[in-house]
Chains A and B, each alone.
Chain A
Amino acid sequence: MKDLQLGESGTICCLKDPEMALKLLEMGCIPGTQVRLNSRAPLGCPITVVVGDMADYTLSLRVSEAATIFLK
């Protein structure tokens, strides 16, 4: 996910770090969910992503956290 361009979307395929995965799952980042890179902080990290195909809500997370999310 960390390689997304601004405005680009992808679908979550899997979560790498098991412990981080639990947190991400609870926050609604379920495999199969669409995510869109919404913005980057001025210094490149953290980022905000819009979760859900209905543009349900926005999460902000660090790039290191986003790196555990793989998209298909």
Chain B
Amino acid sequence: MAGGQLLSGRAGAGVSAAGLENAALRHPGALTRIALVGNPNSGKSSLFNQLTGLNQKVGNFPGVTVDRKTGISQLTSQHRAEIIDLPGTYSLYPKSLDEKVITDLFYDKTSNQYPDFVVVTVDASNLRRNLLLFTQLADMGLPTVLALNMMDVAEQHGVKIDIAALQQELGVPIIPMNARKGVGIAALKIVMAQTLDAPTVQFYSPEESLLPMIRQIRYYFNLHNDYLALHYAHQYRHINFLTPDERAYVQELTEQYQFKPLEQQAQETISRYQRINEVLLNCVSVTRTEQNEPYSNRLDRVLTHKVWGYLIFFSVLFLMFQAVFAWASYPMDLIDQGVAWINGLIQTNFDGPLINLLTEGVLAGLGGVLIFIPQIALLFAFIAVLEETGYMARVTFMMDRIMRRFGLNGKSIVPLISGVACAVPAIMSARTIENRKDRLITIFVTPLMSCSARIPVYTVLIGLVVPDAPVLGVFNLRGIALMGLYLLGFFAAILSAWAMKLLLKTQERSYFIMEFPVYRWPRWKNVGITIVEKVKAFVFQAGKVILAISILLWVLATYGPPGRIEQAETAARTEATAQRLSPEETEARVASERLENSYAGVFGHVLEPAIRPLGFDWKIGISLITSFAAREVFVGTMSTIYSVGQEADQQTVQQKLAAEKDADGQPFFTPARAFSLLVFYVFAMQCMSTLAATYRETKGWKWPILQALYMTGLAYVSSLVVYQLMQ
């Protein structure tokens, strides 16, 4: 399929029939594979969205935890191409694992992932720095198209670019465009539908003294040019597909020729800039417009002001929090009711164990996945706008110093605050943190922030043991207790981050230095695509895990050791008849007995010795197990165990709990027990959805498992201390 009809309509430089045959040979019957590369903020994402629309797929790059975004673009009526969106980078020398993905792709020409050609997005208003990456790519010998983006901004800055001359100098087709508005997309697609030759202009030649080494590497690996061989000399330790012998060979050569990678790289960069300056001198003229101070600077004077800046930022955070916490609850209730309605419909019309599995296992699990969509969509609508406008860079700028102390990043503040509503979207929002270690720490500690699912647990237990008494006239003791729990979670998160900063080793050097973008209006198309992408990622990747666990939990709570549940039910019914209980009371008693004798109940009993030092009994043990589906299930489980009946509200549950007596006839829920349980709920990892989100964001089970162990361990120890001290 790789373009049989392309011979007509040659456009731009470097298009040829010979190249076409090469491409057709390489991927017989395959789509043309095009890699999209560019500096951060060069409009690469906008271009990718324009080219592919919603035809996007997010996968994995092999071996690394970097999202691999691909999309199919309909270039002409008959020609489609696969576009790979690579992480933004300033150079082909990778500084992070994310950037390494790019070189991995370009180093191995024999790989079936090797792109047919590359589209480089370049910010026309900032040509000099953007061209650095382009010249490196061109020297790699990859057929390249230059998408000269942000022409409108360049014009505003008084930058005039002679496209024809620049095309001549750079030796590749250049498409002037404005990806945000879609200008130039059609022209770019026409060029992309062609098959291109490798660029003819060389921008950098390695020093003479390096040539013997480079040539040996080049011929040993049968590489197509010197510059690629030079990269092998730089990166051989990190090139996955080299065998140990091959690495040893390159290492030997670098030692033999006393190759100094840092110096060479610095010298190369300077030499490239010199060359770029020459090119720009001939093709670009700048008429210095005597403009007023840029509007961005004037905005920054307010938005990063030491008082107003923080006030505005906290208002933005508050609005976000409000959206995820309050506004999202309407669609969430609808989803909740919708799932309940379908469940009810099925249950009234059918019966049997499979139907129960469908309704209480599968559909309940599905509901548990869908329920997060409104929060994720709203949070990412906000985050996408903050990113698009350039405000996120200011957030990092203002918060970096404070957050850095604790091993976090300026951008960590967004996940942490969102975590107060729900850890699931919060963890997904940590994606905006470029630094790997900072991101990992943020993901790890975010679930310690008290999320909204803990509120029912908090209110029931606080209501049980904390008197409703005024403090200092204005405050309420219960309110203060509630705030204390939130602060406890917050400090645990901050301190854990600090500890992780000391413990986590990283070979990667972290840089803060980044481009400070000017303010722009958001592109709503980009915002929309971000929302769709995040929701899809959650539903399809985290959703699988959630669904599986909720089915497992259903099985645990429904089935028990053979015969045991039936026996218990019969006994309960006999007893109920003897005590002349009403049908409702009987059903509640039966449900309670069934749960006690299910596997979950058995585990609750098994768990009891382990949690007795915390003041918990097997009933709480069952609640801890079922809470793993979601913390708010605690109240529901407690009401089943204490046979409160179907229509349990918090008050009746509270009364039941208050009436519960221990072996000596004293109230079971003493302040010591209640606070121990509260502290447990503050710290413990009891949310399969959060674990699934961590799994999805860290692309493996290592971190979710560590997170669960750490948080639950912390919960155990803290509860132990609380109970033993207060008892």
Q: List B contacts of A30 (CB < 8 A).
A: 269-270, 273
Which residues 503-530 of B have a CB within 8 angstroms of A? 509, 511-516, 518
CA distance A45 to B297 in the complex (A): 18
A4 close to chain B: CB less than 8 A: no
Interface positions, chain B 254-310, Cβ under 8 Å from A, are: 262-263, 265-266, 269-270, 273, 286, 288, 297, 300, 304-306, 309-310
* Segment from B89-97, B563-571, B574-582 that makes contact with A: B89-97
CB <8 Å contact, B513 and A57? no
A42 interface neighbour in B95, B128, B262, B398, Cβ under 8 Å:
B398
Do the beta carbons of B269 and A22 come within 8 Å of each other?
A: yes
Chain A residue contacts of B263, Cβ below 8 A: 18
* Other-chain residue from B270, B310, B397, B512 in contact with A25 (beta carbon distance below 8 A): B270
- Interface contact B393-A25, CB-CB below 8 Å: no
| Minimal beta-carbon separation of A69 from chain B (angstroms) | 10
Contact between A41 and B400, CB atoms less than 8 A apart = yes
Q: Is there a chain A Cβ closer than 8 Å to B109's Cβ?
A: no
A13 at the interface (CB under 8 A from B): no
List residues of chain B with CB within 8 A of the CB of A60: 393, 396-397, 512-516
Q: Once the chains bind, are B269 and A43 in contact (CB under 8 Å)?
A: no
Q: Which of B91, B286, B401 contacts A41 (CB 8 A)?
A: B401
Q: A27-B90, A56-B128, A60-B393 are in contact. Are A39 and B304 (CB under 8 A)?
A: yes
Once the chains are docked, how many angstroms separate the CA of A5 from the CA of B17?
59
Interface residue from B266, B304, B516 paired with A18 (Cβ < 8 Å)? B266
Measured CB to CB, the nearest residue on chain A to B300 is: A39
Nearest Cβ on chain A to B163's Cβ, whole angstroms: 20
Q: CB-nearest residue of chain B relative to A52?
A: B128
The answer to the question of B132 belonging to the interface, with a C-beta cut-off of 8 Å to chain A, is yes
Bound CA span A70–B516, Å: 21
Cβ < 8 Å to B, chain A residues 19-51: 19-28, 30-31, 38-39, 41-46, 48
B266 and A42 within 8 A (CB): no
Interface of B is mostly: helix
B93 nearest in chain A by CB position: A22
Number of interface residues of A (CB under 8 A): 32
Q: Closest CB of chain A to B548's CB: distance in Å?
A: 43
Q: Report which of A23, A31, A45, A59 forms a contact with B95, defined as CB distance below 8 A.
A: A23
| Given known A42-B305, A45-B401, A60-B514, contact A25–B128 (CB-CB < 8 A) | no
B297 x A38 contact (CB < 8 A):
yes
CB-nearest residue of chain B to A21? B266
B-chain residues with CB within 8 Å of residue A38 when the two chains form the complex: 297
B113 at interface (Cβ–Cβ under 8 A)? no
Cβ B266 vs Cβ A22 within 8 A:
yes
Q: A45-B401, A46-B512 are in contact. Are A22 and B90 (CB under 8 A)?
A: no
Find the A residue at minimum CB distance from B158. Answer: A54
Q: How far is the CB of B424 from chain A (nearest CB, A)?
A: 31
Min C-beta distance of A61 to chain B, whole Å: 4
- Indicate whether A16 reaches chain B with its CB closer than 8 angstroms: no
CA distance A71 to B205 in the complex (A): 29
Do B516 and A59 touch across chains, with their CB atoms under 8 A apart? yes
Whether the Cβ atoms of B129 and A22 lie closer than 8 Å is: no
**How far apart sit A41 and B393, CA to CA, in the bound complex (Å)?**
12
Q: A41-B401, A42-B304 are in contact. List 20 more A-B contacts (CB 8 A).
A: A19-B509, A22-B265, A22-B269, A28-B129, A30-B269, A39-B304, A42-B305, A42-B398, A43-B401, A43-B402, A44-B401, A45-B400, A46-B400, A46-B512, A48-B397, A54-B288, A57-B126, A59-B514, A60-B515, A61-B512
Q: Can you show 11 pairs from A to B with CB atoms below 8 A apart?
A: A18-B263, A25-B270, A26-B269, A27-B129, A28-B128, A28-B129, A28-B273, A43-B402, A46-B512, A60-B393, A60-B515
